[in-house]
Amino acid sequence: MKLVITPNQRTRLIASLMEGWIAPHSRVLDLGAGQGYISRYLASVGHRVTPVDVRDTSIFPEFKPMLYDGAHLPFESGSFDTAILCTVLHHTPSPEVVLREAGRVANQLVVIEDIFRTRFGKFTAAAGCSISNFQFTNHPHSNRSDEQWRETFGTLGMPLLRTRYQRYIFVVLPFFAGAYHISSR
């Protein structure tokens, strides 16, 4: 089990979960780019990254996100090799809408979400998210179990290519991350 406290430690954990899933020098959409740590990491290893989010919370001026409405991405179909959706889907009222749209603009998806196995796990995932994002109201908490995410991808006709899992502790709460490599074609 890994201890994750800083944003850089979290970025390293995420990088290890998707290692080998993105071809070198790919066109990558960082959907739900947040503060920009993942965009910065992906660019540092040679990818051409386009950060997108519903609001600008980036702390890196060179990775300011393109803003979108949360439902319709302003790109042609197939514009990207890969779309990364890193702990973003549980922030949306309808993850299916976001997945479908990401699948339209990218040939493959890498989805990383905190998943749960028990009611307590669901509670810690929701509580940890609210605390780490300072978002205590109007949060949809669309967290799902591994089985529920797999069912979602299947229902959308998105074949699951590979998975990886990692238990970790964020500050004091235990989490279980699921990484899903999905074909959207």
pLDDT 10s digits, 18-61? 999 999 999 999 999 999 999 999 999 999 999 999 999 999 99
pLDDT at 126: 60
pLDDT at 100: 97
Q: Which helix (H) or strand (E) holds 158?
A: none
* Sheet order of strands, 106-115 included: 2-4, 160-170, 173-183, 106-115, 80-86, 27-31, 48-53, 66-67
Residue with tokens 């979602």: 152
User: For the chain, what is the domain count?
Assistant: 1
Instruction: List the chain pLDDT tens, one digit each, 185 residues.
Output: 666 668 888 898 889 899 999 999 999 999 999 999 999 999 999 999 999 999 999 999 999 999 999 999 999 999 999 999 998 998 798 999 999 999 999 999 999 988 877 676 666 666 665 555 555 456 556 688 889 999 999 999 999 999 999 877 765 566 667 788 988 86
pLDDT at 58: 97
CATH number (domain holding residue 35) = 3.40.50.150
* Cβ–Cβ under 8 Å, residues 154 and 5: no
Which range marks the domain in which residue 47 is found?
2-183
Residue with tokens 């959207």: 184
Question: pTM to 2 decimals?
Answer: 0.86
pLDDT at 107: 97
